[in-house]
Amino acid sequence: MEAVEMNSVSLKRPHSEDDVASADEIKRQKILEKSKAGSDSGQSIETVTEQLKDIKSEMIPNDESEEQEEEDLGDSDEDGDPESFADMMKHGLTESDVGITKFVSSHKGFSGILKERYSDFVVHEIGKDGRVSHLDDFSVPVDDEVNFEDPSEETFTVLSDEDKQRLEELQLFKNKEASVAIEVIEDTKEKRTIIHQAVKSLFPGLETKTEDRDGKKYIIAYHAAGKKALANPRKHSWPKSRGSYCHFVLYKENKDTMDAINVLSKFLRVKPNIFSYMGTKDKRAITVQEIAVLRITAQRLAHLNKCLMNFKLGNFSYKNHPLKLGELQGNHFTVVLRNITGTDDQIEQAMHSLREIGFINYYGMQRFGTTAVPTYQIGRAILQNNWTEVMDLILKPRPGAEKGYLVKCREEWAKTKDPAAALKKLPVKRCVEGQLLRGLLNYQSYVWNNMVSKRIEEYGLRAVPGDLILKGATAVHIEEGDVDNYTIHDVVMPLPGFDVIYPKHKIGEAYKEMLVADNLDINNMRHKIRDYSLSGAYRKIIIRPQNVNWEVVAYDDPKIPLFTTDLDKLEGKPLPVLPMDGKFRALKMEFSLPPSTYATMAIREVLKMDTSIKNQTQLNTTWLR
């Protein structure tokens, strides 16, 4: 079956180059000396990690937040030259580069624009109880405990920015003062009460009192319990009857989950690690998910709705537990594919196939990045103990959408192999450990994609003897006499690791051959460094989406929304009025998927097209100009 070229697509475009910040020369000199000492070709993992970790740690001032890294390294959908981006993406990965080559449906493909607007892609989280998260309530819950009052609206504005800065330093013991004095300009009891309440609400652990000084009244803030309060300051002002965690629904537009958490923590003046969630969500989309935060009131969270753009918080409740990664059942997607070219019959066939058969459960292109140096190659080099290659892959030039300083850093490394010289070009931190571990996961994903393509090519859409199925958490082989009891939807394939078994047919041998070609032993996937050992796992070959629905609509204006969001409904916005005979057609589709599956792979099966940015860019030269 052939993929069909797509006439036009939407793209993510990079920031224009930021100004390069100069690093502290004393810190720089320390790391330059360390780097030169270990620049020989026979490097160990300890040398590699230390050199690269030092690049991360020594180049950044103390306590610099993760937000800076996200801002410096993130993409933008508005800035940058589209033609430059298109030129860079000529060097990017295609689906075939990462093993994505097969389809399971028989319909003829057609084209459509995926994510022309970020609002064309909406994700609602499905919790562990099977409930779909929706933002449909902005009200704040009322506590049973009458002695505790949530702060009034004025609480959030009564303190100046300077007062808040001084109080925060006091709360965190960052200054030598034992107290902070705030002059009360309006000498009324009501005004003083609001200031008392503001200090204790916004800076838990601090207490207040009123004092007269030289004929003026001051509110004095001080620590109630010394440094013991710093360990858990909110316990001093939190009702015992209230659950320790405020759960809420986060509605966000065009931001990924960690970006959102960093913004919320900045405005609340708390550490990001007091937030918990069940899964991360796409950036270029509208997403709705549940978040939990430790000992922050619903009223304080609700106030952020007046301060932040592209976020809304609601559906507040207090519970005694945080959220944990992986607890969700999946996600429900609402997707609009604009300017489709398929006939009504082609669309019906495609959507019926998606509902009845499903799609190949490939790891999507988001897993592997967009540049010419895929991260799975880093994972392969780690498994081979080839640390010089690990260094080269992380630091060598990679044509693609990167910041100017990263390009210069990589060029310097390729030219000199001198970490000190390369370091001078790099003003921001990079999480080396994260790159290494992502590389391992992506190597597994790369192998799995290639093997599942071979499995579909060799045996088609039926269960065969030697395939694997899961019984509980254990994988077993399908025996000859039992094959009729199973379908392709029962079959799983292993991600390579030291504690998995492999199919007892040609694909088991194909796994071995692929790993041998990479100088790896399929029977010994343990690594001498524990963190880099691959334990393996199992993944279904075919995913059949649930709750599949679709509709073809006509429209004239590509800028108008084609459905209402949760926020639209809360704000009372009417449904869009669409013409009966518009010059464009769009496919509106809905479906639910389990965790760790890729909606883009389901859409790929419907359209029969390569979803890589490289391919989309090449097919879309007219739109880019």
Number of H helices, E strands in the chain: 20, 18
Helices (H), 518-556: none
List helix spans (H) across 9-44. 25-37
How distant, in Å, are the alpha carbons of 272, 301, 304, 431, 505 from that of 263?
Answer: 9, 12, 10, 20, 51
Query: Which residue is listed with tokens 């180049």?
Result: 59
HEC secondary structure over 47-77: HHHHHHHHHHHHCCCCCCCHHHHHHHHCCEC
Torsion of CA 185, 186, 190, 195, to 10 degrees: -20
Q: What is the DSSP letter of 409?
A: H
**Distance separating alpha carbons of residues 549 and 584, to the nearest angstrom:** 20
Contact assessment for residue 511 and residue 496, using Cβ atoms and an 8 Å cutoff:
yes
Cα separation, 612 vs 614, whole angstroms: 5
Overall residue count recorded for the chain in this entry: 625
**In angstroms, how far is the first alpha carbon of the chain from the final one?**
32
Instruction: Tell me the backbone φ, ψ of residue 13, rounded to 5 degrees.
Output: -110, 145
What's the CA gap between 190 and 213, in Å, rounded?
A: 20
Strands 121-126 and 286-294, by their bridges, are parallel
Q: Comparing C-alpha atoms, which of 271, 270, 266, 320 is closest to residue 292?
A: 320
Instruction: Specify the 3-state DSSP secondary structure of 395.
Output: helix
Active-site amino acid positions: 282
Closest CA to 254 of 96, 78, 437: 78
Q: How far is CA 584 from CA 5, 162, 461, 557, 578, in A?
A: 18, 54, 35, 8, 11
Q: 381-391 as b/e, with b when 16 or more CB fall inside 10 Å?
A: bbbeeebebbb
In the sheet that holds 468-471, the strands lie side by side as 474-477, 468-471, 491-495, 537-540
